[in-house]
Amino acid sequence: MKILDVLHKDAILADLKALDKKGVLEELVTPVARIAGVNHERLVRVLMERERLGSTGIGDGIGIPHGKLKGLGSLVLGFGLSRKGVDFESMDGLPAHIFFLLITPENSTGLHLKLLARISRILKNDPFKKKLLNATESDEIYSIIKEEEEEEEF
* Residue 37 C-beta-side C-alpha neighbours within 13 Å: 4
Write the Ramachandran bin of 25: left for phi over 0, alpha for psi from -120 to 50, otherwise beta.
alpha
Q: What residue type is assigned to position 113 of the chain?
A: L
- The answer to whether 46 and 106 are in contact (CB under 8 A) is no
User: Which of these, 52, 12, 55, lies nearest to 30 by C-alpha position?
Assistant: 12
The catalytic position among 8, 40, 66, 97 is 66
Are residues 77 and 101 in contact, defined by beta-carbon separation less than 8 angstroms?
Answer: yes
* Closest among 120, 111, 146, 152 to 12, alpha carbons compared: 146
Across 100-112, b (16+ Cβ under 10 Å) vs e yields bbbbbbeeeeebb
**66 tagged catalytic:** yes
Q: Which residues are catalytic?
A: 66
